[in-house]
Structure 1
């Protein structure tokens, strides 16, 4: 019973409804489902219905239907379960336990319910002990092989393989063309045109070996699937943990903003208290003064009243003389200015707009190298050696275009004075080259089909159309030998020359200098990159520094670390979708990742990743990272790091 339950739970359960199969059907990929479950799933897949196929919910493989014009219900209805699934269902599926209680076939015909004890493999019937004796006495059946009726395994192994179409015919042949076990009648009627039919005895070892090999493959796939499930579960755990950390950061940011608002509120409330306190102090002092003055008037009033009411003329004149003109010196307190009033003024529209425009930050899904926890994996190498090369290529710079849906890698080959385009058109890889009047230094991507290339010794900048073969469009004469080159706008380029205080010039498309920019410590730019906000990032190997300035020449940052992180000839520069900077360090065989503000993040690639004297660098739209190394362009992809590694 334990075996039956294990088989039912593990092998006879539909993955859609998670219940034991009800009317199972098997697809060409050998996955089995309940007929009703598969019908419901198929009705939710309009693309598969349009293709006249039944999609597998597990592996997505399509099973073609025999009658495409019929309704979907009939498509599924025409499917049958595999022999293995059907056999397991017969032995261990619902109702199998009841079938174990067999009734003797002879006694059953006589209306009796005598339990059977034996089963005849030839007659395919069960008998009780008494009827078995009679079965064994009949000459035509005395030599039949009989086994215990309760031994389902032995019964199954001894059961004859009968044809489903010709019920009385035993299957003895196998049609290799149709991959089907058949009887002689099927062979003579339905398989006359088939070329390869063999006996079942000859095919059985081959089929058994094939199924054993398939079982080994399935075991490997099961292990892989199990590992993938563990991996995905660990990824879910990491995603949830990362999401919680981000939520905490957002709440901290919100709290910081709230704290700023509370500080501003406290400042305003304090100012109200101070202003109101000053006014109250002034008024209270005035009240005190008035009280003292009123007491003085009260005393003078009583003294004068006593003198008037007395009959002594001497006292009356004495008071009169002492008061004199003072009695008429009445202060005009009514004309004093009224105390000021504290008011609070605010612009609700302006305040609402400020709150509306308030940005706590941005939430985005980062992939590839933009994910700072990702791990680089070498995807492939691009060999840029062409048939017409006179010497070994030396690749200085690289960019990637998408021309008519084809990814085209464009490289500057110094040694062969050529611009090369490399692309794959299955099954071939093509390398085309455009010979130039001098050695090319750097490439500026103008569009998905055009680039500009600096030729310093010729004092030229050429524009090239990529079809994907390189075709020369125009030649721009320049007044200086420009090495570094970058695209600023449809009408402007940024170019760098050597040995001048203002080493970076902004040019128009005729080569005219529009503006010169001082880049601080950098006087001989090796590479220039323009960021998404039009800042310039300039590297120079001679001073081992990276400098970022605005187009107006205002300094953004200078990256010149010391110690273990000191640069040893920085060259190629690019930026990620999130603004991080990727910098090639030629002598240390590294690609370094920095923040947008020039802070160190990590060493993205090192010599252990196969880097050797890297120079140029770029990212394509799919997140692949391209780095030039001598004659090759190494292409890296990035996978998400998983803390819980699968062993």
Structure 2
């Protein structure tokens, strides 16, 4: 039976479904698979289907088919069956083994097929009644435990644990060093140098407890996986619902535009009706006037005609005297211009351009913090203490770079007068620092591999190359002590100092002041951020406001909330991909989200998220949010918030 099991496990099992072959077929490379498995695999390989061949799942060799024009199902069906494999399955497969299990082991050796009724737990053989009597007559065998051959449960529990190497030896030991169950012979030959070998009886409760604990963990993982599946399905439902809502909104926008066009159409049609009616009324009045004149002329004509045909000269002269002078100069006196014609003029090119430029709205996929319904999750925390530090680190600013595919976190350590970079390159994290002439204050990101750092007490702005180790590039000497610093363009920086009369300076890369920008209520800028519209967003810890101005100094907005939302220490600033502003409020231990125009959206991070006196903030390209808290950088990710989420 052991031989049959080994043959089945190693040679009669399909590597695709890991079951004993069903309808086996052998390819040209001599690898054998179930036909149904080959069909499923071939259907997943478009290149093979295009070349009209069956690919081998093991070695990738292609097998040509006899009728390439037929469907893929027929390709596999036309493969020749493996009669040798099928014969081995018939003789040694599960069915054959199941049949042999109930045949007396002794009788089988004699070519007989006597049904077995008993099983010996020591010999691991089945016997008929006659052979069992012979077995029990032998002194060395009579004490063996015998059970009913049909009682599979009892047979399994009484089955002896035999060594695979020394097949006649029972396993009674367990090597803890090798984590293997072994027999005494294995112990004396292969495990002599092992330090911890115990008996199987002693280890069984421990192994059982370990497996029970593992089972509990698996149950938890199963439950977690089920919850994740439920959660993902709820996400699918929400995505479909959200898509339908957006489609409805788009249709409403389209209908609003159509209604507007229909209103304009009605206005034009009404104007055509009014203009035409006015013309028609004028012409109708003229016709009425002409009809009255015609009637008068007809009456005069008849009166004159009667006088002419009359034989009475007195009547004729009387008529002549009354009308002759009045009509001696009868002529057409209607000199009014012909009525105008209603026309419709339009510029199709202009109309087409207007339609092309018409925007019903924008559809975008937002994720992370840009999604206002998202929820923050602490991803990891960076401890910025280094071996050469003389004091506890104090981080007022952070920025994130991607250097040659490596994510690098850059911080200015105020207390230790250094710029530090942190990155992970398997298997260990790396920390590097660049000592500066004095305490660094702010960092301006120039590119993915370069930053500028303000060093106010030295009247310097230094540029640093991140490789990802920090390397000093240049030192810019300035006429003022600049604290706040931001990148405006490849040739310009924005810098702020104290006691500067509510303004910040635009500098070139040599430190020359190009112009000054008014910052409204902000007198001593602590932080400056330049958004995607090149507007400057400025904060000051001692002023309960956030100010946004254009690069020309025109006010965009001033955010000054009151009551419970009043700012208590506005500092670090960044923006999301959708333009929302993220503002650190130090003494309320919050990060606040505002719209691009300075309207409150929500508190996205609070003290409950682990914030304690936050200061610096930045977002990286992967949607991770970095916030400095004393000597730590807390890194958050944002997940979609789903109502009634299962945890």
Give the TM-score, by structure 2 length. 0.75
Q: Secondary structure at the match of 1:238?
A: helix
1:262-277 matches, cutoff 5 A:
262-277=262-277
Residue of structure 2 in register with 1:329 after alignment:
330
User: 1:434: Cα distance to partner?
Assistant: 2.6
Change (3 A) 1:352 1:71: same
Is the CA contact (8 Å cut-off) linking 2:105 and 2:125 kept in structure 1?
no
Contact 1:441 1:483 in 2 (8 A): yes
- Distance in 2 (CA, whole Å) between partners of 1:458 and 1:447 is 24
The alpha-carbon deviation at position 474 of structure 1 amounts to 2.5
Q: Aligned pair in 2 of structure 1 residues 596, 171: CA closer, same or farther (>3 Å)? A: farther
**Residue 508 of structure 2 is aligned to residue 508 of structure 1:** yes
CA deviation after TM superposition for structure 1 residue 594, in Å? 0.9
CA contact (8 A) 2:541 2:569 kept: yes
1:352, distance to aligned residue in structure 2 (A): 2.7
The whole-number CA distance in structure 2 between the counterparts of 1:460 and 1:530 is 21
Task: Classify 1:103/1:498 alpha carbon distance in 2 versus 1 (closer, same or farther; 3 Å).
Answer: closer
What's 2:70 paired with?
A: none
| Residue 598 of structure 1, CA deviation | 1.6
Task: Determine which of 133, 136, 158 is the counterpart of 1:136.
Answer: 133
- Deviation for aligned residue 1:604: 0.9
Q: Which residue of 2 aligns with 1:396?
A: 396
Residues 482-501 of structure 1: matches in 2 within 5 Å? Answer: 482-500=482-500
Distance 1:296 1:393, change over 3 A: farther
Deviations 1:597-625 (A, max 9, x none): 22111001112222222222111112111
- Distance (whole Å) between structure 2 residues aligned to residue 468 and residue 104 of structure 1: 75
1:562-599 deviation line (CA, Å, top 9, x unaligned): 22222223221110111111011122121100112221
Q: Distance in 2 between matches of 1:215 and 1:239?
A: 35
Q: Distance in 2 between matches of 1:457 and 1:585?
A: 26
Output the CA distance in 1 between the equivalents of 2:259 and 2:292: 48
8 Å contact 2:434–2:471 — kept in the other structure?
no
Q: Distance in 2 between matches of 1:240 and 1:210?
A: 44
1:175 and 1:196 in contact (8 A); partners too:
no
Cα distance in 2 for residues equivalent to 1:160 and 1:339: 119
Q: Summarize deviations over 1:272-327 as a string: whole Å, max 9, x none.
A: 33333333333333333333333333333333333333333333333333333543
- Aligned residue number for residue 642 of structure 2: 642
Q: Contact 1:545 / 1:558 at 8 angstroms: preserved in 2?
A: yes
The aligned counterpart of 1:364 is: 364
Equivalent residue for 1:620?
Answer: 620
Residue aligning to 1:245: 245
SS at match of 2:324: helix
Q: Is this contact kept in 2: 1:484–1:496, CA < 8 A? A: yes
2: CA distance, partners of 1:597 / 1:570: 17
Q: Structure 1: how far apart are the matches of 2:388 and 2:281?
A: 96
Q: Distance in 1 between matches of 2:256 and 2:467?
A: 53
Q: Please provide the CA RMSD for this pair.
A: 4.5
Number of aligned residues: 574
Q: Which residue of 2 aligns with 1:307?
A: 307
Change in 2 beyond 3 A, CA 1:570/1:136: same
What is the CA–CA distance in structure 2 between the aligned matches of 1:394 and 1:525, rounded to whole Å? 20
Does the 8 A contact of 1:100 with 1:150 survive in 2? no
Q: Deviations over 1:82-131 (max 9, x none)?
A: xxxxxxx96xxx999x969968899999999998765566574465xxxx
Query: How far does the alpha carbon of each residue in 1:195-229 deviate from its partner, in whole angstroms, 9 at most, with x for none?
Result: 78999967983765664454344333222222222
Q: Tell me the equivalent position of 1:524.
A: 524
| Residues 615/201 of structure 1: CA separation in 2 closer, same or farther (3 Å cut) | closer
Partner Cα separation in structure 2 for residue 110 and residue 469 of structure 1: 81
- The answer on whether the counterparts of 2:440 and 2:454 sit within 8 Å (CA) in structure 1 is yes
Whether the 8 Å contact between 2:502 and 2:522 is mirrored in structure 1 is no
- Map 1:127-526 → 2, pairs under 5 A: 127=128, 132=129, 135-136=132-133, 139-140=137-138, 145-158=145-158, 172-173=170-171, 205=204, 211-327=211-327, 328-333=329-334, 336-425=336-425, 426-436=427-437, 438-500=438-500, 503-526=503-526
Matches within 5 A, 1:600-619: 600-619=600-619
User: 2: CA distance between counterparts of 1:231 and 1:100?
Assistant: 50
Cα deviation, 1:312-366, whole Å, max 9, x if unaligned, reads 3333333333333543333344x54332233333333333333233332332332
- Judging changes above 3 Å, is the alpha-carbon distance between structure 1 residues 565 and 151 closer, same or farther for their aligned structure 2 residues? same
Cα-to-partner distance string for 1:371-411 (whole Å, 9 max, x where unaligned): 21222222233233344445443322221222233332222
Distance 2:162 2:340 in 1: 111
Q: Does 1:537 align with 2:537?
A: yes
In structure 1, how many angstroms separate the alpha carbons of the residues matched to 2:529 and 2:622?
20
* CA apart distance, 1:147: 3.7
Secondary structure of 2:588's partner?
A: coil
Partner Cα separation in structure 2 for residue 443 and residue 468 of structure 1: 16
SS of 1:587's equivalent?
A: helix
Distance 1:542 1:110 in 2: 102
1:446/1:43 CA distance change after superposition, 3 Å? farther
What secondary structure sits across from 1:507 in the alignment?
strand
Runs of 5+ unmatched residues, structure 1: 1-13, 25-33, 47-66, 78-88
What is the distance in 2 between the residues matched to 1:149 and 1:348? Answer: 95
Over 3 Å counting, the alpha-carbon distance change for 1:39 and 1:429 in structure 2 is farther
Partner of 2:74: none
With structure 1 as the length reference, what TM-score do the two structures score? 0.75
Out of 527-536 and 400-409, give the one that drifted further: 400-409
Q: Distance in 1 between matches of 2:322 and 2:184?
A: 156
What is the alpha-carbon distance in structure 1 between the residues aligned to residue 506 and residue 466 of structure 2?
25
Within a 5 Å distance, the mapping from 1:58-73 to structure 2 comes to none
Unaligned stretches of 5+ residues in structure 2: 1-13, 23-32, 46-56, 64-81, 83-92
- Give the Cα–Cα distance (whole angstroms) in 2 for the partners of residues 362 and 602 of structure 1: 23
After superposition, the Cα gap between the structure-2 partners of 1:310 and 1:546, relative to the gap in structure 1 and judged at 3 Å, is farther
User: What does 1:73-92 align with in structure 2 at a 5 Å threshold?
Assistant: none
Q: Work out the CA distance in 2 between the residues paired with 1:317 and 1:523.
A: 109
What does the per-residue CA deviation read over 1:56-76, in whole Å, with 9 as the maximum and x for residues that have no partner? xxxxxxxxxxx9879699xxx
Residues in 1 aligned to 2:550 and 2:130: alpha-carbon distance in whole angstroms: 106
CA deviation string 1:180-199 (max 9, x = no partner) = 889999x89xx987878999
